[in-house]
A and B are shown apart, each in its own frame.
Chain A
Amino acid sequence: MLKLFETETLSLDKLTDEQTAIKVKDFSVWLNNSLVLNKINMRIPKNKITAMIGQSGCGKSTLLSSFNRMNELNQKYAFSGEVELDGRDIYNKKENVAKLRTKVGMVFQRPNPFPMSIYENVCFGLRIQGKTERRMLDDIVETSLRNAALWDEVKGRLFDSALLLSGGQQQRLVIARALALKPEILLLDEPTSALDPLTTLHIEELINQLKKTTTVVIVTHNMQQAARVSDYSVFLHQGELIEYSDSDSLFTMPAKKQTEDYITGRYG
């Protein structure tokens, strides 16, 4: 399997706390009184790309949105266990959820730009934090759009409505919007499922660039994509963590029969 960047592979069992971005301990989630995640234990390594794969409804999106507490927007939500970030349980009662979400950015399946200009879209998070100094905003907008590989396409029309962009551009704008806050962790929930193959490739390259500074967790239905971009992969099935290892071994020599069935497409 072709790798764009050669990376040293850390052993997941021996991750130190410094090398860990997110530590999940006995984490269970109930949505509408039914168990969605059952006692998940995992450590997500820092500045690496981790892919989550599994059938629809296996709980991977739920797990992903547990990392920035977006799950709570769901009315009937209950959980047990811990999710640790920088050694602190983000589900503690004193946690500032808004601040947490600036540290843990998220990009959704469907591009959801705000109905405002491209510039204002990228500034949105910064303005909320009370940053209004024009020059600083200009700088951040440019850097974020460059990092999201969108700058060259939109630099002449920053103040046009973001809704006029194409789907792929919108998705990159949404990524730029998240990057403007300089998040430590970026959660991507099937970011390319609504895009064409070429745009998908753009975004995959972008994700690879990002891991220099950011921990990326990506949920995907596309096996090739998971294999292409990720350093580590986790396979979930019906709320259980089945297998978690570096992507090379998971996709070439899966340890579990279930994983093998899924990645070779033998699952129903």
Chain B
Amino acid sequence: MRKFSAPEQQTISSFASGLSAAILLIVLMSLVLFIVLKGSAYFWPSQVFKVTTYDTPNSEVSVFVPSSVNIDEFNQALSDKLDAQFSNSALPMPLIVVEKVDAVYQISLNLGAIQYGKFQQVNTPNSERYQLAELNDVVADVAIFQNQLHDIQTNYLTVLHRKIALLNQSGVGEEAPARLKELEQFTYWQQKAEALRHKLASYNLIFIDAAGQPFDVLVKDIDHLFQPNVMSLFDKISYSGNKIIEFVSESPKQASTSGGVFPALFGTVLMVLLMAVIVAPFGAMAAIYLHEYAPNNMTTSVIRICVSNMAGVPSVVYGVFGLGFFVYTLGGSIDSLLFSDALPSPTFGTPGLFWAALTMALLTLPVVIVSTEEGLRRVPEGLRAGSYALGATKAETIWKTVLPFASPGIMTGVILAIARAAGEVAPLILVGAVKFAPSLPVDSEFPFLHLERQFMHLGVFIYDGAFHNQTNTQGSSMMFASCMLLLIIVFILNLFAIIVRNKLRDRYVRI
């Protein structure tokens, strides 16, 4: 083999290392870019195409699909017929996308579309027919009726029902005048409600689908309605803005395929903060003991190695430990001691927010310990000596001079811990994060913070989203949107912690 000369070696080594750095950069950039592109596509209204597949010239299947769908996959899901052909023509059709309250996407053709020559129509009880432009008036009417219906149900029907139930309990006879009066009232309001329901049912929109078949949607079921193919840029931007607000502020709908991720966002942040509150003091104390008090001998070294190795334990092992020890053993004991009247239904003996935070604290403990020790090691000897020379005891020296100086190190540990905990999924599934939680862990009910409740977590939400049908664009894209949100959250939390760390560094470590 030929020997390389010194300058050649120089070139090769600089080229190789530069190449590695470049590849790394490209990988990182493409990761972020991919997530951001896919994620933001969820918010952008995609154009609607008509896709027609031909099996034989006589049997064709037409559907409307948004452009974000992967046409190949879509077709495979649509029909297993071989040799299908596609035409995704008819691009500028003013199609209407209706988002229903129960959030099944229905894509249909605007009846006023020229190609089909039929009218889109809004039916009302008076047999009046409206154009799309007048829909807002109809929607306002429907909202009034819906409010009336709700009012009758909660203020009259429920109340009367309760009264009648009371009469039943106290054994009032079938023919007693009091009872008859209530029943009469009840029937009256019931009829009124029925009339309203009937009225609401007759407000509907009629569409014609891709195959030319008409179908209708009740106006009261429409969440909102838009025409992506004829939207101006401004319309699209405002649509996206609304969608983003909905995404971060609302609960998921329709088995997590649409709506928002607010509970998951809230759960993630709350769990991470709770974990930071647990792990920061605990890790810092452990590090202080190891560095300041523990004798410099074999045992201490062994403990240190163990702590470092703890960082490498697979996270699911922590999850299993959390489930077995925290949830069943600790939680079970707490239940039998403090919440015995609620048994057999468990209070703390079931996966929940607190156990998740505790498990994650355990998982991130080594990181905090190691970086705190790093911070302590950087404290100049002169500082300690100065403190001792002024009559400070060891504890006073540690608390007043060493710890403030080491606080940037502790913050570094907390930053790493936060980033890790926000993205962790496996242990969380075992100890408290769920696909869907009916209530937030914080509400107006005493004691306001419900540590025993299960919670939603963005990581788990994404994991769950990955199992949704990939041809259903909304579910899949929501996963990407959640991914993007998770990235942003981790970024913000990190940024916050870095700012705090730099503030501390400016204050204490400028020597």
Stretch in contact with the other chain, from B248-256, B387-395, B432-440: B387-395
Q: How far is the CA of A128 from the CA of B394 in the complex (A)?
A: 12
A114 x B391 contact (CB < 8 A): no
Contact B386 A181 (CB under 8 A): no
Q: Does B337 contact A (CB under 8 A)?
A: no
List of A residues within 8 angstroms of B508 by Cβ: 115
Q: Beyond A115-B507, A115-B510, is A73–B385 a contact (Cβ under 8 Å)?
A: yes
**Chain B binding surface SS class:** helix
Decide: B382 and A73 in contact? CB cutoff 8 A. no
CB neighbours (8 Å) of B380 from chain A are: 112
* Bound Cα distance from A98 to B392, whole angstroms: 6
Q: Which residues of B contact A113 (CB under 8 A)?
A: 386
Point out the residues of chain A lying under 8 angstroms from B296, CB to CB: 75
Residue of A99, A110, A114 with most partner-chain B CB within 10 A: A114
Identify which of residues 140-192 in chain B touch chain A, using a CB-to-CB cut-off of 8 Å: none
Which of A5-13, A100-108, A221-229 has 4 or more CB atoms under 8 Å from chain B?
A100-108
A174 and B391 contact, CB distance less than 8 A? no
- Given A124-B400, A128-B396, decide whether A112 and B385 contact each other with a Cβ distance below 8 A: yes
- Chain A nearest CB, measured from B296 CB (Å): 7
- Which residues of chain A are within 8 angstroms of B511 by Cβ–Cβ distance? 115, 163
Q: How far is the CB of B401 from chain A (nearest CB, A)?
A: 6
Roughly how many angstroms separate A129 CA and B396 CA in the complex, as a whole number? 11
Residues of A within 8 A of B449 (CB): none
A sample of 26 cross-chain residue pairs with beta-carbon separation below 8 angstroms, ordered by A number, consists of A70-B388, A73-B385, A100-B391, A102-B390, A106-B389, A108-B382, A110-B382, A112-B380, A112-B382, A112-B383, A112-B385, A112-B386, A114-B383, A114-B387, A114-B401, A115-B509, A115-B511, A124-B392, A125-B391, A128-B390, A128-B400, A129-B391, A161-B507, A178-B389, A178-B390, A181-B390
Q: Say which size band chain A's interface belongs to.
A: 20 to 34
Is A124 within 8 A of B382, CB to CB?
Answer: no
Closest chain-A Cβ to B407's Cβ sits at a distance in Å of 10
Question: What 9 pairs between A and B have smallest CB-CB spacing?
Answer: A112-B382, A102-B391, A125-B390, A106-B389, A115-B508, A112-B386, A101-B391, A98-B391, A163-B510
Q: In the complex, how many angstroms separate the beta carbon of A73 from the nearest chain B beta carbon?
A: 6
Which residues of chain B have C-beta atoms less than 8 A from A99's C-beta?
Answer: 391
Q: Is A68 an interface residue (CB 8 A)?
A: yes
Q: Count chain B residues whose beta carbon lies closer than 8 angstroms to a beta carbon of A.
A: 24
Q: Which of B346-394 contact A (CB under 8 A)?
A: 380, 382-393
Determine if A237 is an interface residue (Cβ-Cβ < 8 Å): no
CA distance A218 to B390 in the complex (A): 18
Residues of chain A from 56 to 94 with CB closer than 8 A to chain B in the complex: 68, 70, 73, 75
Contact B391 A181 (CB under 8 A): yes
State the Cβ distance, A71 to closest chain B Cβ, in Å.
Answer: 11
B404 adjacent to chain A (CB < 8 Å): yes
Total of A-B residue pairs, C-beta within 8 Å:
71
CA distance A73 to B388 in the complex (A): 9
> How far is A21 from B384 in the complex, measured between Cα atoms in Å?
27
Given that A73-B385, A108-B382, A110-B382 are known contacts, is A124 also in contact with B510, CB under 8 Å in the complex? no
Q: How far is the CB of B474 from chain A (nearest CB, A)?
A: 54
Question: Closest approach, in angstroms, between the C-beta of A250 and any C-beta of chain B?
Answer: 28
Query: Does A177 make an interface contact (CB < 8 A)?
Result: yes
Minimal Cβ-Cβ distance residue in A for B401: A114
Q: A112-B382, A115-B507 are in contact. Are A177 and B388 (CB under 8 A)?
A: no
B247 within 8 A of A: no
Q: Which of A68, A75, A115 contacts B404 (CB 8 A)?
A: A115
Q: With a CB–CB cut-off of 8 A, which chain A residues contact B510?
A: 115, 161, 163
B395 to chain A, nearest CB (A): 10
Q: Is the CB of A101 within 8 A of B385?
A: no
B405 at the interface (CB under 8 A from A): yes
Residues 224-281 of B contacting A (Cβ, < 8 Å): none
Q: Name, among B380, B388, B400, B405, the residue most crowded by chain A CB atoms within 10 Å (CB to CB).
A: B388
A107 to B390, CA, bound (A): 10
**Are A128 and B392 in contact, with the CB atoms below 8 A?**
yes
Closest to A69 in B: B388
Q: What residues on A are CB-neighbors of B396 within 8 Å?
A: 128
List the B side residues contacting A98 at CB < 8 Å: 391-393
Contact between A101 and B388, CB atoms less than 8 A apart: yes
Q: Which residues of A contact B393 (CB under 8 A)?
A: 98
Q: Given the interface contacts A110-B382, A124-B400, does A115 sit within 8 Å of B405 by beta carbon?
A: yes
CB distance from B266 to the nearest CB of A (A): 38
Shortest Cβ distance from B382 into A: residue: A112
Q: How far is the CA of A114 from the CA of B507 in the complex (A)?
A: 11
Tell me, rounded to whole Å, the shortest Cβ–Cβ distance linking A218 to chain B: 15
Residues of A within 8 A of B382 (CB): 108, 110, 112
A181 to B386, CA, bound (A): 13
Q: A105-B389, A105-B390, A114-B401 are in contact. List 14 more A-B contacts (CB 8 A).
A: A70-B389, A73-B384, A73-B385, A75-B296, A98-B391, A101-B390, A106-B389, A108-B382, A112-B382, A115-B511, A124-B400, A128-B391, A128-B396, A177-B390
A174 to B390, CA, bound (A): 10
